[in-house]
Amino acid sequence: MKRAAIVVLAGALLVAGCSTTGGNDAGPTSTTSSSTSSKGSTPSPVPGAPAIDWHDCGGGFQCGDMEVPLDYAKPDGKKIQIAVTRHPADKPDERIGALFMNPGGPGASAIDLARNFSRAGEIGDRFDIVGFDPRGVGESSPLDCHSHLLDIYDADPTIDSAADRAETLKASKEFVDECRRKYGPILPFLGTTNVARDMDQVRQALGDDQLNYLGYSYGTSLGQEYARLFPTHVRSMVLDGVVDHAPDGLTTAEEQAGGFTTAMKSYVAHCKAEGCGFDKPADQVIDDVVAQAEKAAIPAPNANRPAGPGVVSLALAQALYSETLWGTLSSALRDAQDGDGSGLVDLADQYLGRNDDGTYSGMFEIYFAVSCLDDSWPTDPGKVFAAAAKAAKKDPLFGSPIVLDYIRCAMWPAKPEPLKPVPADTKGLPPIVVISTTKDPATPYENGVAVAEQIPTGVLVTNVGEGHTIVGQGKPCIDDMVADYFIDLTVPEDGLVCK
């Protein structure tokens, strides 16, 4: 609920005509056929680009590492290692180029996404599928400073007392201090601006003149920053589940709380129509379970800890990322009504990336390392507490937990370098497809509308539906349009609506 969420998908991009249209003709709708100069061949690295020593790593994939400057202001200084994987185009004689992708987070592995992404149809035939883990993530010099993660998220996020406030401050300080002790010298260099520069280094190492890119959620931040820094190096770009760089950090958090509230209303309406196995309206069930956890943590005999208010908050948020989890949430709430919070703990652990053996995916430390650099934040934790209390009045269920998450940024040891929107006077940037879902909880629909307007070549596509992101999930209107755009550079109508 706090992060611009992680996307896990392995859906196919299909090739056909779009079945549902709408909107207006304000944007470009014509077809163009230019592509990278490497079409139909495997290109050589750009002279001077860092080398990648490739080796076979199974499933038709090649894996390798490359070194990039930790600080691009000192290109000959300390280096950091980046891990890359690619699956060469299945029809190399018809190769268009490499298709880079990022699943979000910040902190999710692009290598994992590339390895699980379906290569069905012409996408896999004509593009190398490429993923590189951003610095600090997965196989790219990952951070490991999450000893206090459970303390942070098991704390009561509603701050009803001085004790709640003290607990949040203590757990947050312990988390931040551990990351400072272990990684202080590199924390200033983990932001998205440097990741975008790394991506251009990978592009050069692959030998492509221009970049093709599919970014989900936080991956849309990376795409926008790349477009800002290297507009003439972009061939095609799809941004799905969009992060808006214009507002400050706390404003973005407040808007995200509104997105989760909208998604929760959809779940409640679903239960009103379907029942969900409850003996009362779903919103009353949720309120009862929250109140129950506030009074005393709900026992969870099949989990490692009871379901306190922090666990309940995470569980609710996790289930709203996708309609596929609504049934799981209903079951967990019914069990909680009967005094068993095990299902809620399981949902919370999915959110935290916590495995059955107690280990973690290692995503949250890099999440804060990036988020605290990419936005502007107050340095006084008291201002975050005040903003959380204000957000709670508008969005009682999610306002305080989501805003309060960023109290870590008020303590973070590295100075922010806030990302900026793509300037309106940017030259040489091709049409960029911006996809926004009407009831996306983590990146509200309005984000996509705003970013499509900010990018001078932005083309807005509206997906009418639930959940966070949509490309590759089997919706023909979306997937066919995306495939046509990547392959033939057929730009969709600005304002296209997929119902």
pLDDT value of residue 443: 95
Both tokens of 1, joined, read: 């609920």
Pseudo-torsion of CA 72, 75, 77, 81, nearest 10°? Answer: 70
What's the CATH superfamily of 10-143+190-245+419-498?
Answer: Alpha/Beta hydrolase fold, catalytic domain (3.40.50.1820)
pLDDT value of residue 39: 55
Active-site option among 468, 479, 480, 484:
468
209 belongs to the catalytic site = no
> What integer best gives the mean pLDDT of the chain?
91
3-state secondary structure labels for all residues of 361-381: CCCHHHHHHHHHHHCCCCCCH
Of 20-34, 215-229, 357-371, 424-438, the least confident: 20-34
Confidence of residue 342 (pLDDT cuts 50, 70, 90): very high
Does 184 have pLDDT greater than 90? Answer: yes
322 belongs to the catalytic site = no
Confidence of residue 67 (pLDDT cuts 50, 70, 90): very high
Of 39-53, 273-287, 323-337, the least confident: 39-53
Of 51-60, 129-138, 234-243, 352-361, the least confident: 352-361
Pair type for strands 127-132 and 97-102: parallel
Cβ contact 77:185 at 8 Å: no
Does 95 have pLDDT greater than 70? Answer: yes
Does 324 have pLDDT greater than 50? Answer: yes
233 belongs to the catalytic site = no
Does 64 have pLDDT greater than 80? Answer: yes
Active-site option among 217, 236, 371, 436:
217
Cβ contact 31:488 at 8 Å: yes
Confidence of residue 417 (pLDDT cuts 50, 70, 90): very high
Q: What is the CA radius of gyration of the chain?
A: 22
Pair type for strands 79-87 and 127-132: antiparallel
CA distance 327 to 325: 5
pLDDT value of residue 38: 45
Looking up tokens 């251009």 gives 200
Cβ contact 463:20 at 8 Å: no
Active-site option among 440, 479, 484, 494:
440
pLDDT value of residue 7: 38
